[in-house]
Each structure stands twice: as C-alpha cells, then as structure tokens.
Structure 1
Amino acid sequence: MKNKTKTLLRIVLYLVLTYVPVYILGFAFSDKNGSLTSVFAGNTLMLYPAIAVIITRIVTKEGFRDSFLGFGKRNSGKYYALAVLYPIALTYVSALLLHLFVVKNGSITDSAALSDGTMAVAMLLLSIVSGFATAVHGFGEELGWRGYLTPKLEELMPTPAAVIVTGIIWALWHGPLLAYGYDFGRDYDFFPYGGFIAMIVMCVFWSAILTWLTKRTGSVYPAALCHMLIDTVLTTNFMPFAVKANGEKFELRTNEFWMLIISVFPMIIVVGTVCMVLLCKKQKPASKASA
C-alpha cells in the first residue's frame, strides 16, 4: 500500500509539471484557430513531458534507472524499421480510404499528390528527413508518456488499462489547442467537444502502438521516431490527396472533420487493437508466473 501511494504521488507530481506549462502557454499564445503565435511556445510544448520526468525523478530521489534511455534490446532494428514504415503506410492507406469512401467524383490518380511522381517522392523523403530531424520533440513526449507515465500506471493497474489511461491523459494534454480547432478544425457539429472525443480515441490507439514499440525494444527512441514521423509524413503527404492537380479541392461526401475520421482512423484503430492484443498476451504469462 505504501509503494502504491508513493507511485500515485509521483504520477500526480509528473502530471502537474507536464500540464501546467502547456496549459499556460497554450492559452496565453493561442491564435484562437488551433495554432500558437509564439515560436518559443510552439517549439517547447512537446519537451515538457521529458522535463517533467527529469524533475520528478530528481525531486522524488527515484533516479534514472528503468528510464528506457538505451537504444534497445538485441534485434531491435526491425522495430525501428516498423517505426518508420507505419507512418508511411498510414498515410497511403488513409489516402486510399479517402478516395474510396469520402471523395465524390474523381480518382486518386487525379490528385495533386500523384500528379507529379517526382514531386510526390521528394515530399515523402523530405517529410521523413524532417521527422528524423525533429525526433527530439518526439523524444520529449515519449520519455514522458511511454517512458514514465505508462510504467508508473502499470504499478497500479493492468497494462491495457494503463495504456488507455495514458492515452486519455495524453489527449487532454492537448486541451488548449483542441479548444480552438487543433487537428480537427472548427467546421463540425459539437465543436470543440467532438475534437476532444476524436483526439482521445486517436491517442488511446496510438498509445497502444507506441507502448508496444517501447516494450519490445526497451527503449523510447522507436516510439519517439514513430511519433514524429506520424506528425511530419501524415500531415505533409495526406492532404494533397484531397486536392486535384489543378489546385481545386475534390468534392467530398462530408466535412473535413469526418473526412479525417473516415480516412485516417481505421488503420490507427486496427493497428492499435493488434498492438493491444499483443500487449495483453505478453502480460498473461507474467501474471501466471507470479501466481
């Protein structure tokens, strides 16, 4: 009981240190459209989870053992490869679903993304390089969410529950930006609550994927890399599929909010579910052994 209380106090301290600066900066420098007017705020928001981990570990005298700071167990290379391939696959599967179920008229081959093959390859490569270059931001979040919060929650609850709770906390951490249209815009019913619900769903399934990568390697770096590549590859390469080669937008069967839900969420949910099942299977032998 004493250890659980200590763990809970560490979690509370970590969350306060993670949430407070982000909410202060997020509301103070919001442009009211889901972005920030301050370059400093924009460049530092993703680093606060890591800063919170460092301060929490020092203040509570926990130290830095079990911090997932190594580059991985033996044979971790394939998981680094998956961390790179998943965001690319997510982008193009989402583009295919967009044209199968959302675009009214026109073919995927008519899109701006495929109108110039050389440009499409160049954009993809540039977004991958950008993801690698900004991986420190992904590290800032993943050292916090997957490297600290999830393992701490696992001391209080089963792994699947810890993954879900982390996902919800991670989603709500984006609150100041979501309140003004971050990721999902403003043109949908029940704004901004629909955006909060969508972000929670997305983060819960991504939490499963990134936790699986972290556990399989014993390192936060694959998750950090995957995180940043999702941000750069998906955001750079998906939207050109919604636009014709001449710059006009395709006519859609729904608004952009539901366009994202229908196109992007299916693969996130499917892969996240698979990773959650794998995490559950990994947990069962351990629980039997301890019994």
Structure 2
Amino acid sequence: MNKIRNFIFLSFGLSWTIWLLIWLLGMKLGEPISQVGTVLAMWMPALAYFILRKIEPGHYPLKADFRLAFKNNWKYYLLAIWLPAFLTILGLGLYFLIFRSQFSLEFASVEDMLKAVGAEPQGVPLGLIAIFQVIAAVTYGPIINTFFALGEEIGWRGYLYPAFREKFSSLYSHLLTGLIWSLWHLPLNLQGYNFESTYWGVPWLGLVAMFIFCFSIGVLLSFMMEKTGSLWAPALLHGAVNASAGLGILFQIPSEQALSLRILGPTPLGLLSGLPFVIVALIILFKRKDSQL
C-alpha cells in the first residue's frame, strides 16, 4: 500500500499546487490561463506515475499499453465515442421530463455562452450553433479531448485501479478509485466547477455527486481498458464524456433556479441526469464474478 499512497500523494500534490496557484493569482475558472492550468493538472497523475517509476524501476507496473489495436477492438472504440452521448441524452431527457419548465429550444444558454467569451452570433441561428455542438460531441470532440484525458487515465486506470485490484475485489477497487478521483477534483468543485455554488447542501452534496459520477464513469473506463488492453480506449471514452457533458445546458433556460438545481442535472454529473451512467456501471459490475466486497 506504500506505493499506492506515494502515487496518490504525489498526484494530489502536483495537481493541487497548480490549482492553488491559479486561485492565489485571482484567476477565475473559465479564463484562458486557468483553463491551461486545468489541462496541465489533468496530466499530473501521469507525471506522478512516471516520476515514481523512474525512482523505483519495476515497482510501478502499467497494466495497459499505448497500442491502439484498432483492428480487433474497433467496436469498443466506437462504443467509447458514442456511448457517453447516448447516456447523456437519456439523462437530460429524464431531467427535463421532471423539470419541464427549464427546457427551451430558444437556446438562450448558447447566447449567454457566446457573450461570456465576447463572441456574437452575427446572424447565425442559435439553433444551428447548438446543432454544431451536438455534432462535435459525437465526432471530433471526443478525439480532441482524448489527448487531454490521457494523463488522468495513465494514472487512475493504468496504475491505480489495477494496483487496488491486486488486493481487493472489482467493486471495492472501483469504490476506492472513485473516491480518490472525486477528492482529486475537490479544489475545482469548491470553486463552483461542475455544480456552481448555490445548490442545497453545498459543498457536501456536491462531494457525494462527484463521487457517484467518478465511480460510475470509472467502471466504464476500466471496462474499456480491460477489453482492449490499451489506454487509448478509456482516454477516448473519457474525452467523449467531457465532449457531451454540456449538451443538456444547451437546452436549459438560464436562471438562478437552473443554477441551484445543477446538482441534479442536466449534465451527467447531476444526481438525477447521471442515473443512466450509474445503471450501466452497476450492470457491468453485477455481471462480473469478482465484484464482491
């Protein structure tokens, strides 16, 4: 367990240092330099792993490689691209079925997003922009995001989850990995990332929601890695999750109520709209013979 602890502490230390510097410099989430810092932080689990492997060669095995093996695993790569969008759409459908007053096809949220970055539609229909966002989420978006997500997948799925599996069942290993991964996001969530900061039960309910999300997504990511033997498959699925996570916001009427309910949805991180991911994760676990605690 000492090696696992070393990896966790170094991963947290490197990433949290970046986020702390961003906070101390007064940069807000979403600003260009802050976004660059977050991308760097996403690669810190990989850096922590490679540092420790350099210090102690042979003591930090990586349970997957960087070969695509696309010919034999093409169906899993297609699943990695499209499954997150499918589950996200199911989740936002469930959310808007309950909170119907928040649904709109006027795409006011798109207009607000454009204004926030100083851009104007200039005669382009907001609906067309929303359609482009949906197309990006199921085509090139996951592929671009893969290179940002790979740093996390090297650390969390390539090393940490398999290290836990040497000692615990699949379910227990996923619970531990999900807990650690969710706590790794803590500096961001405390600043209102993902759930804003006006929901009931802030910040504790947000920690619960983040754990459920990381646990369920982690099961899918590990499934992809185990089926393909490649780190690119979970990185692609991770990238697809990030690419499709904001689809529900496109159809949401921006309001204080919407922000206060962000803990429930319509993104997959919400307790309500994330249920399809949770269900698929539980199905995967229950079909395994080694999922007992």
User: Would you call these one fold, judging by a TM-score over 0.5?
Assistant: yes
Tell me the distance in 2 between the aligned counterparts of 1:102 and 1:264. 11
Q: Shift of the alpha carbon at 1:44?
A: 0.2
Partner of 1:70: 67
Structure 1, unaligned runs of 5 or more: 1-7
Deviates more, 1:69-78 or 1:218-227: 69-78
Tell me the distance in 2 between the aligned counterparts of 1:256 and 1:223. 26
Tell me the distance in 2 between the aligned counterparts of 1:105 and 1:25. 36
Match of 1:126 among 122, 136, 151: 136
For 2:217, the aligned partner's letter is W
Shift in CA distance, 109/34, structure 1 to aligned 2, threshold 3 Å: closer
Partner of 1:258: 264
Shift in CA distance, 64/208, structure 1 to aligned 2, threshold 3 Å: closer
For 1:170, the aligned partner's letter is W
Q: Shift of the alpha carbon at 1:129?
A: 1.7
Root mean square deviation of aligned Cα = 3.0
Tell me the distance in 2 between the aligned counterparts of 1:105 and 1:135. 31
- Match status 1:164 vs 2:164: no
- Match status 1:43 vs 2:54: no
Q: Shift of the alpha carbon at 1:211?
A: 0.8
Mapped contact 1:242–1:250 kept (Cα < 8 A): no
Partner of 1:182: 193
Match of 1:230 among 241, 261, 267: 241
Partner of 2:278: 269
Deviates more, 1:258-267 or 1:214-223: 258-267
TM-score, normalised relative to structure 2: 0.81
SS in 2 for 1:104: helix
Mapped contact 2:92–2:248 kept (Cα < 8 A): yes
% same residue = 23
- Match status 1:143 vs 2:154: yes
Mapped contact 2:84–2:237 kept (Cα < 8 A): yes
Shift in CA distance, 65/45, structure 1 to aligned 2, threshold 3 Å: closer
Q: Shift of the alpha carbon at 1:61?
A: 1.0
Structure 2, unaligned runs of 5 or more: 111-124
Partner of 1:241: 251
Q: Shift of the alpha carbon at 1:117?
A: 6.2
Tell me the distance in 1 between the aligned counterparts of 2:43 and 2:101. 41
For 1:90, the aligned partner's letter is L
Tell me the distance in 2 between the aligned counterparts of 1:219 and 1:122. 30
Map Cα deviations across residues 265-286 of structure 1 (whole Å, 9 max, x no partner): 11111111112223x23x48xx
Map Cα deviations across residues 63-97 of structure 1 (whole Å, 9 max, x no partner): 76644322248631111111011121023212311
SS in 2 for 1:187: coil
Shift in CA distance, 123/154, structure 1 to aligned 2, threshold 3 Å: same
Match of 2:21 among 15, 22, 28: 28
Number of residue pairs aligned between Structure 1 and Structure 2: 270
Partner of 1:5: none
SS in 2 for 1:38: helix
Mapped contact 2:15–2:41 kept (Cα < 8 A): yes
More helix by share: 1
Partner of 1:212: 223
Match of 1:96 among 75, 90, 93: 93
Map Cα deviations across residues 170-211 of structure 1 (whole Å, 9 max, x no partner): 000011111121111101122111111110111111111111
Match of 1:60 among 51, 56, 61: 56
Mapped contact 1:214–1:222 kept (Cα < 8 A): yes
Deviates more, 1:217-226 or 1:263-272: 263-272
Partner of 2:83: 86
Tell me the distance in 2 between the aligned counterparts of 1:23 and 1:265. 26
For 1:272, the aligned partner's letter is A
Partner of 2:120: none
